[in-house]
Chains A and B, each alone.
Chain A
């Protein structure tokens, strides 16, 4: 499965958009990009996933570059409750769809 690289931490003002980048330059054609977040001492929460096209749901938007080597998770209006560790993971059926977590990005939303 492709290795992903994320910044260790980011700050965002409450009410503003939070843009979390992820590099996955070795991603293969059948690997999806998944985003999860983990609030302190809880299990990870699914946010969104995509293959090639940009995706949007009630929580966030996922922008994947045309070459698929990087992506950005966008939380359109960050709130204090969005403070968490955000994980970007690339995986595919070939790898048993296993989710292997990296270090993630600590997002701190500040008022």
Chain B
């Protein structure tokens, strides 16, 4: 099956700094990628839809200026958490649409201290 990677798998940062998470589709081109956030013992929450070459579409309640999304190529989307705070600590997961289905990355564990 198709493979989606994320980097880094884990990151610890200090409050007030920014963190960039990369999502790559390794063996297929993805015009659309999705970003999710998951808090402990909760389900995945869709944050935004990322379209190659255009602005991302954010779900209601998600701050677009805090969670910057860039989808510069058909195989790479990035999520930047700006001015991170401890409440942004979460598991961030990306998904890439390809071959008629959605493939998920392994997730990035962000801890803000």
Contacts and interface: CB of A to CB of B under 8 A. Distances in A.
A101 B1 contact: no
Interface residues of B, number: 24
Interface string B90-104: 010101010001111
A99 B106 contact: no
A94 to B, nearest CB: 14
A42 B107 contact: yes
Majority SS at the chain A contact face: loop
Interface residues of A, number: 21
B49 to A, nearest CB: 6
B8 to A, nearest CB: 14
Interface of B: 1, 4, 6, 32, 34, 36, 43-46, 49, 57, 91, 93, 95, 97, 101-107, 109
A17 interface: no
B102 A43 contact: no
9 contacts: A38-B44, A43-B95, A43-B104, A43-B106, A44-B104, A46-B104, A99-B46, A101-B44, A104-B43
